[in-house]
Homo-oligomer: A and B are copies of this chain.
Amino acid sequence: MTGTHIIGDWGTSRLRLFRISDGHIVARRDGPGIGKVGQGAEQALAETIAPLMADGAPDEIALCGMIGARDIWVEAPYADCPATMDDWRAAAVRFDWRGVPLSIMAGLACVGSDRIADVMRDEETQIFGAFRLHPQLGQGRRLIVLPGTHNKWVLVEDGRILSFRTMPTGELFALLRDQSVLGPKDMSGDAVQQQAGFTEGLARAGDGRLLASLFAARSMRLRAGRSSDWAAGYLSGLLIGCEVREAMALLPAEQDVTLIGDGRLSDLYGQALGAMGVVSRRLDGEVCALAGLGFVETE
């Protein structure tokens, strides 16, 4: 890929902008997320991008993520699943912004086998990027999971995104830990206890009784000598274990599972999958997003 481009991944919590010359990142700037700027997005873009324009306007600007949502700036549609990378690129909104062609990438929409409708913005960029970086991912029917506040479980086949499901498990965990009477209030940060709780929660998830197992986060502290750190790990293991079981029943795939994302959360999903005998591999989310926007060398 030759020429100069500015590409951006603009989610709820932050904006990451990159200037790319001939397939290489030459500069980066971070800015505020859509959740903070809302309808002030164009102004925030102008301020964050200014240093990246100092060496001259790029040939093109491309943005993905929540910037394309309704009532923010210029809405980008949802492409319907099943969708190839070409289907998704064709659905972008393109317009001239201060003399430079600017694209806001589309989201994706699907209707599950159980007739539940769902949407994503941003994760599709990482998935299509993963196909570019790892061509074997574009072969066969596979399950990809992107852990986060609202996890996406994505069924892909031969380079197309077939269907997906959003699981708000991360948000649910934070609510239970921080704002419910189940939540431990006096954690000491004991990682051994947290891991013991996580393992016990994962095992409990195998019973298939999420609601009937939640109160144990409190009652096992009151009655069975468990610690607050144990309880936080237990809630996490129970929720993630139940989520993994539900997702793998809803979106069946025969291959190993691919995790896109980094940090502790992806470790926990890898553990939960491993406890079910499923091998997983991990890819870096930012690298995948850059490849999905198409302006970074994939060799």
Contacts and interface: CB of A to CB of B under 8 A. Distances in A.
Interface of A is mostly: helix
Contacts of A119: 219, 222-223
B167 A243 contact: no
Contacts of A168: 180-182, 211, 214-215
Interface string A245-259: 011011000000000
A116 B29 CA distance: 51
Given A116-B216, A168-B181, 4 more contacts: A114-B204, A114-B213, A119-B223, A211-B246
29 contacts: A109-B223, A114-B207, A116-B216, A117-B219, A117-B223, A117-B224, A150-B181, A150-B215, A167-B211, A167-B215, A168-B180, A168-B181, A168-B214, A169-B211, A171-B180, A171-B181, A171-B182, A172-B172, A172-B176, A172-B214, A175-B175, A175-B176, A208-B208, A209-B246, A209-B250, A210-B210, A210-B246, A211-B243, A212-B247
Contacts of A204: 114
A214 B179 contact: no
How many A residues touch the partner, as a band? 35 or more
Interface of A: 109, 114, 116-119, 150, 165-169, 171-172, 175-176, 179-182, 204, 207-216, 219-220, 222-224, 239, 242-243, 246-247, 249-250
Nearest to A179: B175
Contacts of A116: 212-213, 215-216, 219-220
A219 B181 contact: no
Contacts of A167: 211-212, 214-215
